[in-house]
């Protein structure tokens, strides 16, 4: 266990460098880091699925200033974009939805859910509810983009893109933005993607074989044994190890 702790600490420290975003592999944080609008940062996270290079290429095309524009201008310009599962109309509609949010409303909405029991997923559910209240538009691609609310209130999906957005917004280091000081990094859940999932199982950090919310929680709880106050600090390192196909021997 001590060897594994040292391995993770060393990788996390090595990766906690802005050079990782400049010289390392593609990452949506490369775009999000230069933004000061939480709605635009959220868009970077929501579109962060698929090939990393394709994600960054798409995000760099987006005109985030449209979030402060009127409906006519948004429809005219945002409808130029489409990405994988999202049609041009889907992209225009998410811009229209977020443009209706006032400055700070995204955080305020999240806190309404989060502060009840210090549950980040409850905060995310509040934002999804708000998005639905602001715009009744619906399509398969739009639902995939923003996520859905579980019928029984218990998540099954890892909500990876939402958890990544929270990592960016809550943590503060050379990589993450740390814009939401009202949220404790101890409450974050790791943004579980396939890279992190596979590397964590290989290192013995995760026993669960199913890629789901329970696996994200299990891995987070395991990482709390190394850093109770900031378990998600290891996320970027685990992700990069998987992305780069780095061979790390599981410590004895």
Question: Domain residue spans in the chain?
Answer: 1-244
- In order of 12, 52, 132, 198, the CA distances from 8 in angstroms are 6, 23, 39, 15
pLDDT at 143 over 60: yes
| β-bridge partners, 64 | none
pLDDT band at 252 (very low <50, low <70, confident <90, very high): very low
* Angle at 20 (CA atoms; ends 14, 26), nearest 5 degrees: 140
Listed residue (2, 32, 65, 43) closest to 176, CA to CA = 32
Which letter, b or e, does each residue of 44-64 get, where b requires 16 or more Cβ atoms within 10 Å of its Cβ?
bbbbbbeebeebbebbeebeb
For residue 245, is pLDDT > 80? no
Six token digits for residue 52: 């990393």
Q: What is the pTM of this model?
A: 0.94
* Sign of CA pseudo-dihedral 40, 46, 52, 54: negative
């Amino acid at each position: 266990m001590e060897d594994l702790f040292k391995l993770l600490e060393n990788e996390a420290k090595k990766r906690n460098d802005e050079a990782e975003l400049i010289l390392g592999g593609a990452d949506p944080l490369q775009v999000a880091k230069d933004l000061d609008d939480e709605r635009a940062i959220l868009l970077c996270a929501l579109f962060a699925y698929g090939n990393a290079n394709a994600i960054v290429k798409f995000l760099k095309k987006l005109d985030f200033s449209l979030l402060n524009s009127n409906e006519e201008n948004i429809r005219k310009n945002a409808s130029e974009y489409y990405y994988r599962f999202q049609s041009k109309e889907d992209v225009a509609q998410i811009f229209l939805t977020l443009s209706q949010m006032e400055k700070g409303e995204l955080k305020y909405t999240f806190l309404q859910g989060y502060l009840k029991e210090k549950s980040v997923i409850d905060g995310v559910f509040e934002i999804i509810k708000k998005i639905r209240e602001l715009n009744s538009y619906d399509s398969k691609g739009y639902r995939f983009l923003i996520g859905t609310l579980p019928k029984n209130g218990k998540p099954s999906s890892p909500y990876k893109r939402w958890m990544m957005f929270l990592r960016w917004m809550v943590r503060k280091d050379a990589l993450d933005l740390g814009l939401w000081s009202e949220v404790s990094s101890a409450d974050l859940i790791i943004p579980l993607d396939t890279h992190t999932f596979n590397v964590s199982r290989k290192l013995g950090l995760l026993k669960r074989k199913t890629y789901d919310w329970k696996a994200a929680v299990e891995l987070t709880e395991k990482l709390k044994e190394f850093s109770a106050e900031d378990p998600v600090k290891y996320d970027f390192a685990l992700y990069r190890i998987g992305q780069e196909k780095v061979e790390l021997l599981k410590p004895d």
